[in-house]
């Protein structure tokens, strides 16, 4: 991927600078593919130059004298050059180690990737027959490295990324490198993970972050899993989960994306590329050119991507601005799709650990959530307000006006007090619930579709209702019916919009309830309310005969009880019936509400 980005940059610079060439040797844009911007094809001839080394085996911190010189007898001098060392078998991972100069008049250091001096180039197009530089073996060197060079004889005659000699780390044999993720790895066999990871040691010898809670990647394929354990001076990570493109995790100082240390396992055709990256803002991660990951291994099965690698606790020695693993971070677990190894934005909110965790700290079974607490409360408040308190308040106003004719509550009619209390509660819950997403986002969310627009309309209507109610004309006023209709109209519109907003809300990325299960529960919730309304309405119009229904509900009761019902005024009989319906409605309503609140608290 890094090389792709470099390629793009290189094409862009080629386009912008066509005709120009870099006789000053400041060719950092050629770091990746080592191509000079000459607009001609490299020479098909065998290059008349090669690199020789003063030693072919190295230790950490060693210096190797690298000489680029003419090899063919009578070969022509060269004008331009670029030298880099690449990990063998991981050439497209960029330059490794750094150089120091021997002759500053003909050579200069370049910064490729994050490492200063990781490449050397010419200073001018003066004719040269030999150039010497010193390569310093980095900490954590690869098992073997290969020096690569580009040499320019004339503007139109040059050779690109010519493989030079190989040097190996002492004590290792130059064999196929471990699980590589590079384009030239097709000839080597990457380390294959023998079996799925296990959650067995979670909390005892390794820390784990899992979604769903306590799932086991060894037995469930629908398990997003991250584990880490300290091994000496490094940390061993295991990452797996169902994904069609990539699985990743990030270390973050806050619960926001941005300035995060990211680790990616990206599917590319039939391979998994494992890399470290850095996310600067809410943007695409920038892949680190210098690879800091070791012992990489991966597997793919049943749509699950699985990878493991090791990283040193601190990478200061590599001059990499990557996070120290002995500090505490929030852990983000994300997955998504990828195309040709290039990742797309995650399609679900990442799972974020509930607290910051020191990566090298004591093993812990971590829990996380894909949804921020503020948005969970937003959802719960809106559900309570618009599915429970508002419906109950409306039922009281519509069907209980004539009941409790003798009694009053705090000096007002009972139905009115109940209605007013529930509606005030609705407005308060809506106001609080309304503010929460703005606190969380710090502004307007562009990704939320029409949900926030509906929400604002509902909020406005919810505020108009109590004002309208306070200014209502007296009951005997001729304007009273107008108020009644407006109050009913605005309330009904608010309720319909609120229900629509809730349906959209449970599909929002930041509060994504499990579909279709949650959608079904919410639909049931709405139907339950409509059904109660229908029964009340039919009853109030006399379609449900109070005597018959009362008898039905009173079945098995004493005869005098039945007589008492039948002898009372019909309105009072209806009252008993309405109370029963209200009770049944509330039981169902609260059950639906708690089911949804449970779903919200579990995402
Ligand atoms: C340069 O030398 C190395 C070994 O020293 C050899 O493997 C490589 O093929 C040579 N390259 C060229 C272009 O002669
Ligand atoms: C890291 O940077 C420092 C100062 O910039 C330099 O002295 C040191 O040689 C660099 N180390 C490596 C491995 O590049």
- CA-to-CA distance for 53 and 36, rounded, in angstroms? 24
Q: Supply the pTM of this predicted model.
A: 0.57
Q: What are phi and psi of 561, to 5 degrees?
A: -60, -45
Whether 321 is in the pocket of ligand 2, judged by its Cβ within 6 Å, is no
**Shortest-distance atom of ligand 1 to CA 52:** 5
Q: Which two tokens stand for residue 416?
A: 């009115």
**Shortest-distance atom of ligand 2 to CA 319:** 1
Q: In Å, how far from its chain's centre is CA 122?
A: 44
- CA-to-CA distance for 21 and 14, rounded, in angstroms? 9
Strand partners, 352: 332, 369
CA-closest residue to ligand 2 atom 1: 319
Mean pLDDT across the chain, nearest whole number? 83
- The CATH number of the structural domain formed by 373-602 is 1.20.120
* pLDDT score for 102: 83
Q: Which ligand is nearest to the CA of 96?
A: 2
- CA-to-CA distance for 42 and 39, rounded, in angstroms? 9
Q: Could you tell me the pLDDT band of residue 240, with boundaries at 50, 70 and 90?
A: very high
Separation of CA 50 and ligand 1 centre (Å): 6
DSSP output for 545-570: -HHHHHHHHHTTS-HHHHHHHHHS-H
How many Cα atoms sit within 13 Å of 239 on the Cβ side? 28
**CATH topology for the 24-181 domain:** Immunoglobulin-like (2.60.40)
- CA-to-CA distance for 249 and 336, rounded, in angstroms? 12
| pLDDT tens digits for range 206-223 | 999 998 888 999 888 889
CB 134 within 8 A of CB 64: yes
- CA-to-CA distance for 225 and 309, rounded, in angstroms? 14
CA-closest residue to ligand 1 atom 12: 50
| pLDDT tens digits for range 8-43 | 344 333 333 333 346 777 777 788 888 877 777 888
Q: Could you tell me the pLDDT band of residue 551, with boundaries at 50, 70 and 90?
A: low
Torsional sign, CA 180, 185, 186, 189: negative
CA–CA–CA angle 334, 340, 346 (5° rounding): 20
Q: Which ligand is nearest to the CA of 97?
A: 2
Residue closest to 458 by CA, chosen among 507, 487, 496, 488: 496
**Averaged pLDDT, 400-426:** 86
Separation of CA 161 and ligand 2 centre (Å): 25
Please tell me the CATH superfamily of domain 207-369, with its number: Cellobiose dehydrogenase, cytochrome domain (2.60.40.1210)
**Averaged pLDDT, 412-419:** 89
Q: Locate tokens 């690298």: which residue?
A: 66
**Shortest-distance atom of ligand 2 to CA 138:** 13
CB 205 within 8 A of CB 363: yes
**Averaged pLDDT, 481-486:** 91
Domain with CATH 2.60.40.1210 in the chain: 207-369
Separation of CA 181 and ligand 2 centre (Å): 27
Residues 6+ apart with CB under 8 A from 131: 67, 68, 69, 81, 83, 103, 106, 107, 120, 122
Of 6-20, 89-103, 184-198, 228-242, which one has max mean pLDDT?
A: 228-242
Whether pLDDT at 258 is above 90: no
**Averaged pLDDT, 120-127:** 90
- CA-to-CA distance for 553 and 45, rounded, in angstroms? 99
Domain with CATH 1.20.120 in the chain: 373-602
Separation of CA 17 and ligand 2 centre (Å): 32
DSSP secondary structure letter of residue 185: G
Whether pLDDT at 269 is above 90: no
Q: Locate tokens 């039939």: which residue?
A: 270
Domain with CATH 2.60.40.4060 in the chain: 24-181
Name residues contacting ligand 1 (CB within 6 A).
47, 50, 162, 164-165
Of 13-17, 111-115, 379-383, 571-575, which one has max mean pLDDT?
A: 379-383
Q: Which ligand is nearest to the CA of 75?
A: 1
* pLDDT score for 577: 85
* pLDDT score for 594: 95
């Amino acid at each position: 991927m890094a090389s792709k980005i470099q390629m793009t940059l290189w094409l862009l610079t080629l386009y912008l600078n066509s005709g120009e060439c870099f006789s000053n040797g400041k060719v950092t844009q050629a770091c990746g593919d080592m191509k000079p911007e000459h607009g001609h094809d490299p020479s098909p001839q065998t290059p008349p130059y090669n690199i020789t080394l003063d030693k072919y085996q190295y230790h950490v911190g060693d210096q190797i004298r690298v000489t680029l010189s003419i090899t063919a007898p009578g070969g022509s001098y060269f004008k331009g050059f670029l030298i880099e060392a690449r990990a063998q078998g991981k050439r497209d991972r960029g330059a490794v180690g750094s150089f120091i100069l021997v002759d500053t008049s003909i050579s200069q250091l370049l910064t490729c990737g994050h490492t200063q001096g990781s490449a050397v180039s010419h200073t001018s197009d003066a004719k040269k027959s030999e150039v010497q530089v010193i390569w310093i073996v980095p900490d954590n060197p690869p098992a073997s490295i290969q020096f690569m060079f580009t040499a320019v004889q004339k503007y139109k005659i040059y050779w690109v990324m010519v493989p030079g000699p190989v040097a190996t780390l002492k004590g290792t044999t130059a064999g196929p490198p471990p699980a590589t993720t590079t384009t030239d790895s097709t000839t080597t066999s990457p380390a294959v993970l023998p079996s799925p990871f296990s959650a067995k040691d979670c909390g005892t010898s390794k820390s784990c972050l899992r979604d769903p809670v306590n799932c086991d990647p060894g037995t469930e394929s629908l398990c997003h899993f991250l584990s880490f354990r300290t091994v000496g001076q490094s940390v061993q990570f295991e990452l797996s989960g169902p994904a069609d493109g990539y699985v990743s995790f990030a270390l973050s100082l806050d619960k926001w994306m941005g300035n995060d240390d990211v680790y990616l396992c990206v599917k590319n055709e039939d391979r998994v590329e494992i890399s470290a990256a850095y996310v600067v803002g809410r943007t695409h991660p920038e892949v680190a050119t210098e690879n800091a990951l070791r012992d990489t291994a991966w597997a793919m099965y049943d749509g699950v991507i699985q990878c493991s690698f090791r990283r040193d606790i601190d990478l200061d020695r590599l001059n990499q601005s990557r996070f120290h693993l002995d500090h505490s971070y929030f852990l983000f677990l994300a997955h998504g799709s990828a195309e040709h190894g290039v990742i797309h934005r995650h399609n679900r909110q990442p799972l974020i650990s509930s607290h910051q965790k020191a990566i090298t700290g004591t093993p812990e079974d971590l829990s996380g959530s894909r949804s921020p607490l503020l948005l969970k409360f937003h959802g719960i408040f809106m559900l309570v307000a618009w599915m429970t308190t508002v419906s109950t308040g409306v039922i009281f106003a519509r069907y209980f006006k004539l009941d409790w004719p003798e009694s009053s509550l705090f000096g007002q009619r009972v139905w009115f007090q109940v209605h007013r209390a529930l509606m005030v509660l609705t407005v308060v819950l809506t106001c609080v619930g309304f503010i929460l997403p703005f606190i969380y986002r710090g502004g307007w969310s562009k990704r939320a579709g029409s949900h926030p627009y509906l929400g604002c309309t509902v909020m406005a209507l919810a505020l108009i209702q109590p004002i309208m109610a306070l200014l209502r004309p007296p009951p005997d006023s001729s304007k009273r019916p107008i108020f009644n209709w407006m109050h009913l109209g605005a309330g009904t519109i608010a309720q319909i919009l609120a229900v629509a907003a809730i349906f959209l809300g449970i599909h929002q990325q930041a509060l994504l309830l499990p579909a279709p299960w949650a959608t079904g529960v919410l639909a049931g919730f709405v139907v339950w309310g409509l059904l109660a309304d229908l029964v009340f309405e039919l009853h109030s119009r006399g379609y449900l005969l109070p005597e018959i229904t009362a008898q039905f509900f009173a079945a098995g009761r004493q005869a005098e009880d039945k007589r008492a019902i039948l002898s009372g005024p019909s309105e009072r009989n209806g009252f008993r019936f309405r109370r029963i319906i209200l009770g049944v409605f509330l039981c169902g309503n609260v059950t639906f509400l708690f089911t949804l609140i449970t779903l919200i608290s579990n995402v």
